[in-house]
């Protein structure tokens, strides 16, 4: 008798994998939907780049006059204030030049003062010569009348020939004296006119000779002041190369001052990313120095005048047979929040990541030209004012006027 045995049907492996695949597909689809919704709602309005760097002004300190360095008053990494002395040059030659210029101005003022005083003297001389001419004319007229009375009496013998000859001699002498008086008057008038030509339309303090000497004093004064080099702006010293005892020429770079509170970010975006970018759009930035724990807030203020390759030392030459298109990048300038910058300082050249929110497109396109205020310094204004005060003091003192304090 044979026994028959029955084995249960083997389990289907596909039936076990199907729920797992469906679950994975569902999770993937949900993640894709969530990511798509997140991108549509937020990220499609953002343009990002990690090709961004901190930029700032690098103000070179250069002398305006030649000289030997006597003192260096700041070094690398030092913080300096606007107007703070950084370098001092030997001022001995400049002081001597100023002394000579001041002495020349004083002498010129006194010479011009004499010219103005001569106006009255020459005018009085003209009046004196005019009186002499009037007297000479009267004498000549009297002699002419006397001769005219005697001439009819000569024929009757009432007047002798000798007396007639004497009357003619008197008339000739009077006329000669009149001619001499008129000649002296003409010379006096010419001398007075020549002197007035030096003084008409001006005052002693504004006389051309005084102005020329005053300009020499201002020049010498400024040259003396320029032997001390101040910081034109507040910032941190960098790239110091000057040494004590060094002989420097005008324009020689001695050091640089970087105003770290005025740095900005230059983010290089691809040209296609600029379509919806506008002036004033908000920007989120992070620095490699601080990482994601510090997020800066900024805004777009402008775009560069050309791509980076256009201003390269060797610009690309694309007019060739083997040309390959390369997407260009354009620098976009981003200003940072001043408060954040003071709390978390940056340095020029640091790497940044920038993300521009392009949702609001109501502003001016970044490609539009924007006028911005220019930087200036008032550090050097005081030198010119001090020179003017010194000139006015010298002029007043040599004109015999009180010097105002």
Instruction: Tell me the three state secondary structure of residue 152.
Output: helix
* Nearest C-alpha neighbor of 213 from the set 100, 96, 92: 100
SS3 content of the chain, % helix, strand, coil (to 5): 45, 20, 35
Average pLDDT over residues 258-270: 93
Q: Encoding tokens for residue 182?
A: 């008129």
Which of 61-65, 199-203, 367-371, 375-379 bottoms out in mean pLDDT, i.e. has the lowest? 367-371
pLDDT tens by residue, 218-249: 999 999 999 999 999 999 999 999 999 999 99
Mean pLDDT score, 73-102: 95
- Report percent pLDDT > 90 for the chain: 42
Tell me, yes or no, if the pTM score tops 0.75.
Answer: no
CATH 2.40.30.170 residue ranges for the chain: 263-309+328-372
What does the pLDDT read at residue 7? 47
Tokens of 84: 């703070």
Partners of 79 in beta bridges: 236
Q: Does domain 94-222+384-398 have CATH number 1.20.120?
A: no
Contact 171, 144 (CB under 8 A): yes
Distance in angstroms between the alpha carbons of the first and the last residue of the chain: 144
Mean pLDDT of the chain: 84
Residues carrying CATH 2.40.50.100, the chain = 59-90+227-258
Helix (H, G, I), strand (E, B) or coil at 251: coil
The CA distance from 269 to 267, in Å, is 6
Interval 134-161: pLDDT, tens: 888 888 788 777 767 666 665 565 556 6
Please tell me which of 22-26, 132-136, 300-304 the model is most confident about, judged by mean pLDDT: 300-304
How far is the C-alpha of 89 from the C-alpha of 227, rounded, in Å?
Answer: 5
- For the domain bounded by 59-90+227-258, which CATH number is listed? 2.40.50.100
CATH of 263-309+328-372, one of 2.40.30.170, 3.20.20.70, 2.30.30.790, 3.40.50.720: 2.40.30.170
Q: How confident is the model at residue 214 (pLDDT cuts 50, 70, 90)?
A: very high
């Amino acid at each position: 008798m044979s026994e028959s045995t029955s084995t249960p049907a083997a389990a289907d492996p596909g039936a076990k994998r199907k729920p797992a695949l469906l679950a994975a597909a569902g999770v993937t689809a949900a993640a894709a939907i969530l990511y798509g919704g997140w991108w549509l709602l937020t990220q499609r309005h953002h343009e990002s780049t990690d090709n961004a760097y901190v930029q700032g002004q690098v103000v070179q300190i250069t002398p305006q006059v030649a000289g030997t360095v006597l003192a260096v008053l700041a070094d690398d990494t030092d913080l300096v204030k606007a107007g703070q002395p950084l370098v001092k040059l030997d001022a001995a030659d400049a002081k001597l030049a100023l002394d000579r210029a001041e002495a020349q101005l004083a002498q010129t003022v006194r010479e011009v003062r004499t010219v103005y005083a001569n106006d009255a003297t020459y005018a009085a001389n003209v009046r004196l010569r005019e009186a002499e001419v009037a007297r000479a004319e009267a004498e000549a007229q009297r002699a002419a009348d006397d001769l005219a009375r005697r001439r009819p009496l000569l024929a009757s013998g009432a007047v002798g020939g000798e007396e007639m000859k004497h009357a003619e001699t008197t008339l000739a002498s009077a006329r000669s004296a009149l001619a001499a008086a008129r000649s002296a008057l003409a010379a006096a008038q010419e001398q007075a006119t020549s002197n007035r030509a030096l003084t008409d339309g001006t005052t002693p303090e504004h006389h051309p000779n005084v102005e020329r000497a005053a300009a020499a004093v201002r020049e010498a004064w400024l040259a003396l002041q320029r032997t001390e080099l101040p910081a034109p702006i507040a910032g941190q010293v960098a790239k110091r190369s000057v040494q004590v005892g060094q002989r420097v020429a005008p324009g020689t770079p001695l050091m640089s001052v970087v105003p770290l509170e005025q740095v900005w970010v230059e983010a290089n975006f691809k040209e296609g990313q600029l379509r919806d970018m506008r002036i004033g759009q908000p920007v989120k930035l992070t620095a490699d120095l601080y990482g994601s724990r510090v997020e800066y807030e900024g805004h777009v203020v402008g775009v560069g005048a050309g791509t980076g390759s256009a201003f390269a030392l060797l610009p690309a030459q694309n007019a060739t047979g083997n040309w390959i298109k390369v997407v260009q990048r354009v620098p976009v300038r981003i200003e940072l929040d001043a408060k954040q910058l003071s709390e978390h300082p940056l340095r020029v050249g640091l790497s940044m990541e920038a993300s521009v929110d392009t949702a609001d497109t109501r502003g001016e396109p970044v490609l539009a030209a924007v006028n911005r205020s220019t930087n200036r310094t008032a550090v050097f204004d005081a030198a010119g004012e001090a020179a003017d005060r010194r000139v006015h003091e010298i002029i007043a003192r040599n004109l015999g006027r009180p010097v105002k304090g």
